[in-house]
Structure 1
Amino acid sequence: MEVGCVWNTYLLANVLNLLLHSCVCVDLSYHVEEESSPFTFVGDIAADTQMEEMDSLVGNNFITYNQMQQQWTENSHLFNVTQDGKLYTAQTLDAEKLCTYESECVRYIKVAVHRRKTFLKVIKIKVIIEDINDHSPEFPETQLNITYDEDDGEGAERLIPEAFDKDVGMENSEVTYKLKKQFSDPFILSVRKTITGGAKIGIVLGDKLDREIQDSYNLEVIANDGGQPSKQGILHVHIKIIDVNDNSPVFSKHIYNISIKNTHPNNNPILTLSAKDPDSGNNGKVSYFMSSKTPERTRRHFRLNQQTGELFVEKPLTSQTKNILKMYVEAKDGGNPSLNSFAIVRVNILNEKNHPPKIGINFVSELKKDTAAIYEGTKVGSYLAYVNVVDNDFGANGEVSCKLEHDKVVLSHLGSKEYKITLQKPLDREKLDHFNMRIVCEDNGSPALKTERKISIQVMDVNDVQPQFTKDTFHFLTYENGKANFPIGFINATDPDLASAGQLTFSLLSKDRNNIPFQVSDYGFITSNIPLDREEEDMYKFEVFVKDNGKPSLNNTANVVVEVLDRNDNNPYFIYPTTDPFHINVHYRPQSTNAITVIRASDRDSHLNAFLKYGILDGNNKRLFTLNSLTGQMSFSRAPHLNDAGSYELVLVVKDSGSPVLSATTTVSLSLRVTNKTSAPMPTVHLEKNRTLDVPLLIILVVAAVIVAVVIVVSITLCIVKCSSGQSRSAKSTRKGVNRSAICNRIDQPLPCQSSSIPGTPVRYSSEMNNRNMPFVECKEDFYPQYESQIDWSNVGSLEKSPPNTILLPTRIKK
């Protein structure tokens, strides 16, 4: 009755769903996949309804589209309609959230069409949200434990829960099942459809069970959906088999033969009986009893522990006791009904002494007594030694068992008192170069006697480790001009192998072997073959190659960078003047500035070794000229007078800032012509001595001398004032205001520290380049400096665009 109600409800729901979808009349239908990103294009309403063609026929009146808001549904938030009729998604669509328990996910929207402000119609649109296979089938739980009784018959079934797929599509949500198991597992999977569309799943026993062979099974029920590609869910099923008492206890031996001395103590067992029952619980719990078949006179001498199976001497064994006693023992399990089995125990009474066993070992590769050799990398399972045990005692006294406890090797029994030692785990000499172990052999006498023998295994080395550098890249610094074979640095590499396998050989690698001025020793020291010259090469990059001497040889490489540091080994040299001596003709006018020319020098060294300072070494007796120590600017220290005209032999010097300081000199032959209409040459006073002097005349001469001295002092004072005002005007004419006191510094004064890049040549400021009020400079080589006020200045623009660190030299003027 309940099944019929469920079936009717299911049919009614599907019929109503079909009627609902069939009764909705739509103008357009579109499809869009779920999980599409927002603003995904769905369709062109204007084009699909041909409203654009109607718009063009009636005169190109504008048609707009607007989505109608429906408060009772959330469809308006899922889509967006533009005014020109394009339909887009407004958010990510999830079919499983929107259409739970529906076979097809559909949403309806209404779009109002207007021509300008006139309402035309309402377009009903059906959007089918196509399901994608984004969910896997899921079981209510991932692990399930079920049980079967050992005596359950074929066809016994245990139900398991079905899997559900949240996808909406028919194929994506359709689930099929299969059982993953071992080939011998006696189970099959049963799947039956229900009237609700679900499935009834069961695990069915297909064969008999034997808990003693296998007491549990692990299966996997795999549920696959029908999507492309298919997704799956897994249910892990653990089946436990409940035991029934279907096995009797079984003794380890049917007949036990032991030998004991007649003086055997009562508190030590002579034998421990062992019977196994594969059943579980009480069904497998074994108890031991002396059987009623055992004669009473024999039973008086012995006592049997029911729980442990230990057999003790109860009554002293005298000389009247038989040499061999025979008894029957019974083993019972705790099942209901219980099952049992029997064994025979024969006891041989001895009056002889028991001897310990003797151990003999033969190694495959023996270094010395009790020491074997084995190479690392030997295959696991390889044979190391043969062990034989000798014990000539009678009965149990001669029965021997041996053991060896070590994780690297294993002792295997070959037969009667024979064993072999084999390798159980791989050996690595770099981690373990030797190990010790001991073999213990014990007989079955009472009391048992044992012997132990200690042995050692020496692990021999093979070339199995590649040489390793301590760094990937070695960086060394060295000064230029060092002696040949001068040490540059040390390359460190290690190899833990022994002997030749750990001996390393170094060599250098480069694309062009001849371009490396270095060599490396066998110890890893890098030295230079020749003195290095930083001006030719300031950095070398190459590789160092290392190999060991093993067979086969192993190798490795590392990068080497050698940076050559500079020494002050190059003298500076003049770039301008270009010859020595160099001739310059200078014509000075009152409107000229004090600047004459720029001296330029260079140095092949770097940093402080190339930081240059300029000075006038000789020929400047009148101190008429000054040379800027930093920029090389040569200028007048004051305004020349008419009597300063003439020739000057100036010896110029340039020094670097290295240690020791290196320098260079050059001679400038300067011819000065001065035109000064406002300045008259200083008078020259020639005094003649009279042969005869009288006192009045002497007084007149003294008075005249005083007057002349006063005139001279006044004239000198006026000249100094005039020179000072001229220098002030010259300083103001430069754009950046060069400090005269800095220009007039001596060449040997220390220079201020510069920034990271120390200038190697002086820098001329653009204000000094463009000042036209400079004296006329005439060179013997027909060069005219840019300071001449009368030359053509059409190229001034190109001078101003010169780089700030470029020294502008005089320009040749075609005559």
Structure 2
Amino acid sequence: MFPALLLMLFLPGSCWCVDHTYYVKENNDTNSYIGDIATDTHLLDNIQSKDDSNKLTFNVLQGSTEGTVQLFNVTPGGQLYTAAILDAETLCLYNVECYKILEIAIQHGYSVIRILEIKVIIEDVNDNYPIFPNTEFHLTFDESDSKDSKGRILNAFDKDVSIENSKISYKLKNNVDIPFQLLVTKKSDGSDVLQLILEGNLDRETQDLYDIQLIAKDGGSPPKEGILNIEISVQDENDNSPIFSQNIYNVTINDTHQINKPILRLSATDLDEGENGRISYVFNNAKTLGTVKRWFKLDEATGELFLKQNFQFGRIYKLFVDARDNGIPSMSSTVLILINGISHINNRPDIDVKFVIKSTGNTAVISEATQIHSFVAYVKVTDNDSGVNGQVKCHLQNRYLQIISMSEKKYKVVVKSEIDRESEKRFNFTIKCQDNGLPPLTVEKEFSMLVTDINDVQPQFSQDIFKFLTYENEHKDFPVGYVNATDPDIGDGGQLTYSLLTNRKDILPFQISDVGFISTTESLDREEKN
């Protein structure tokens, strides 16, 4: 029955979708229990024999990139634990679901049965306070301003990644006897716009300065608060934000695009005059990844967007740009730019190798006892080119290992012949992947395999027969001689001890030490036995 069950376990793997989802809170201690993969995925429900289920083992596939921090561990029985303290703010982007995908190899003995993809959602904890760009903010109003005049305030930011914990509400503290109220509205991108509304008349000769505290409170439980001290001077104001001509810009470029040619030109208008209406265009650092900004440059004055250098095609890049006026305080609007890079050039494939055995960087360790067909590594190839340029085949030439296709651009490395440490303590192998472009492009990745020893070689005496001469009438423990044997195994398998086939002193009046030293157990009589 078990071979049929293994087939049932393997077939769903062709989907390559998430097999199960777990939830774990950030900042939990290392080695915190997450769940039982074997039970939660119901893989063992159809196994009637306990012995069969005990033959299945679970392993987290490890990446070949050096310096990668391992976040999770799985026991051979399938229990999943954290391997480090998880910080959602470090691992994930703002206002998105924070998760990691684990690739779990299920093995029967040394053979891979299935690769599970486990999704671990890292639940955000409210461990960050709302923070304003500065602890103090200066705002100006003109004493001739009419009722309902507005003054813009910079909003706070909460580093927590979940929407609830980073959602901020605002209120004024000690707003009695001041002619201002707080107005909170939303921009098209969902961010808050904070404004103080003039509720009465201003008389600079009576009072030219107001001190107000603004409280920013997040939506966590319990909530956390940040404070902004606002100083209001009675002078003039800048009350209009720049407005982009579009809410979203969609741009498609190909690999023939020239670096000195603009990708697009942004356009925004501001109803204010003078410096209050002069607009500068800058990247929104809070929302645009630094890795994305390195590919593009923006002309602050004209709003023209350029390629800074050739970048990876076959993907979509997301940029957020602010249009800021030069008033005091400055007001801004944000627009989203989606850039789709299409490649007509054949690019080299990329190889990602993850070992199921112990590995560090490009070096792995394998036992000479590893059986033929045992699963060694999982190979995933990436080629974002279209058509035949993105079709890839991989090869591996080695006396011990072979590569087998599992699905498109996914392979497994297995043992194809017996490994003997005494013959070869270390061997290298190269995985070579080539696309079908004209001309075809090839990528190679070389690895080293260290072979560990098992006790598979018998000790060998230095000669078939040892002859010794001794004397009669000598005392007990009289030395006779040494015997010597060797064993090429390392460790305990190569440590030798010696013993005689019989310990009966009436038959054989000799004894041997652990190191091969032979001596008498009694005084010998040649006339009795020679």
TM bucket by the smaller chain? 0.3 to 0.5
More helix by share: 1
Larger Rg: 1
TM-score after normalising by structure 2 = 0.39
TM-score after normalising by structure 1 = 0.26
